């Protein structure tokens, strides 16, 4: 069933008007017509099943048939800290991260980042990324919008990782490391109040100096095996492992 996210909270009564950009998307792009049924996500953890009853030039009227509560993101929340990769790669990661239930993606600049300054990323680019997040949210039926944080230097990003508040994390590392992902993740405690972080580099990974900076913050480097993985593959792999160890699957 199709799902769309409402730009504002729905009224308390059982008729919901669709207008603006959402009207264009629902009627002009998706070709929904009178009698069509779909769900509207309200951003408050609910999905409203509605039926289109009338379509005008700039708006459509729907009748609410039923409402269901969407599951909230389970804890611990997952945070993907990602060195800015090539933009098409990032767009793929955004889509998959929404589906995997990532709470936030926090971008940062490191030695091998595709770009190393905010001036290299236009406002239009950020708007496009937000639209990708919205589209994936609608497709997956997720209750909330994943947060995308604009990139900051790696040193500042590491300062936001807070073990004293219960944060736990690791980084994918292609260099020498005696630890496998399984060994590192199984040391995590799902009962702590903090978030679970995974740090992934852009194409080229992390330098030796950066790996040492991670270690100084209590973040252990973990190997993903002998094969070199693409950025998007590494992200999906790590996030899936974290979800499994946190007990998020099957809840």
What DSSP assignment string belongs to 77-122? PEEEEEE---HHHHHHHHHHHHHTT-SEEEEEE-TT-S--SGGGS-
pLDDT on residue 251 = 52
Residue 84: alpha-carbon gap to chain centroid: 15
Q: Give residue-wise pLDDT tens across range 71-113.
A: 899 999 999 999 999 999 999 999 999 999 999 999 999 999 9
HSE of 103 in the Cβ direction (CA atoms, 13 Å)?
16
Residue 42 phi/psi, 5° resolution? -100, 0
pLDDT on residue 64 = 94
Interval 174-186 mean pLDDT: 83
Residue 179's pLDDT band, with cuts at 50, 70 and 90, is confident
- Residue 176 predicted with pLDDT over 70: yes
Place of tokens 């389970």: 74
Of 68 and 11, which is predicted with more confidence? 68
- Three-state SS for 73? coil
Place of tokens 């770009």: 115
Interval 42-70 mean pLDDT: 93
Of 134 and 226, which is predicted with more confidence? 134
How far is 108 from 131, CA to CA, in rounded Å?
Answer: 20
User: Using an 8 Å Cβ cutoff, are 143 and 45 in contact?
Assistant: yes
Q: Give residue-wise pLDDT tens across range 117-139.
A: 988 999 999 999 999 999 999 99
78-246 to CATH, choices 3.40.190.10, 3.30.70.20, 3.40.1280.10, 2.60.40.1660: 3.40.1280.10
% pLDDT > 70, the chain:
98
pLDDT on residue 127 = 96
Looking at residue 206, what DSSP letter applies? -
- The domain spans of the chain are 3-69, 78-246
3-69 to CATH, choices 3.30.2080.10, 2.40.240.20, 3.40.50.10860, 3.40.50.1170: 2.40.240.20
- Residue 240 predicted with pLDDT over 60: yes
pLDDT on residue 131 = 95
Range from 64-78, 140-154, 173-187 carrying the lowest mean pLDDT: 173-187
């Amino acid at each position: 069933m199709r799902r769309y996210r409402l730009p504002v909270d729905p009224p308390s009564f059982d008729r919901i008007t669709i207008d603006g950009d959402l009207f264009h998307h629902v009627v002009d792009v998706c070709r929904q017509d009178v009698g069509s049924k779909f769900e509207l996500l309200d951003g408050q953890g609910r999905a409203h099943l509605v039926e289109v009853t009338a379509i005008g030039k700039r708006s459509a009227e729907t009748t609410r048939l039923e409402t269901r509560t969407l599951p909230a993101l389970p804890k611990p929340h997952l945070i993907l800290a990602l060195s800015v990769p090539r933009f098409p790669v990032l767009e793929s990661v955004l889509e998959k991260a929404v589906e995997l239930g990532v709470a936030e993606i926090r971008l940062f600049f490191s030695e091998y980042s595709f770009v190393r300054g905010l001036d290299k990323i236009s406002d239009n680019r950020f708007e496009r990324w937000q639209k990708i997040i919205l589209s994936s949210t609608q497709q997956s039926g997720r209750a909330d919008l994943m947060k995308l944080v604009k990139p900051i230097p790696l040193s500042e990003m590491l300062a936001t990782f807070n073990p004293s508040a219960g944060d736990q994390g690791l980084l994918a590392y292609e260099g020498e490391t005696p630890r496998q992902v399984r060994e590192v993740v199984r040391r995590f405690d799902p009962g702590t109040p903090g978030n679970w972080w995974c740090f992934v580099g852009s194409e080229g990974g992390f330098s030796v100096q950066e790996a040492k900076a991670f270690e100084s913050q209590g973040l252990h480097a973990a190997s993903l095996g002998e094969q070199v993985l693409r950025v998007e593959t590494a992200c999906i792999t790590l996030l899936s492992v974290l979800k499994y160890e946190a007990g998020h699957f099957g809840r």
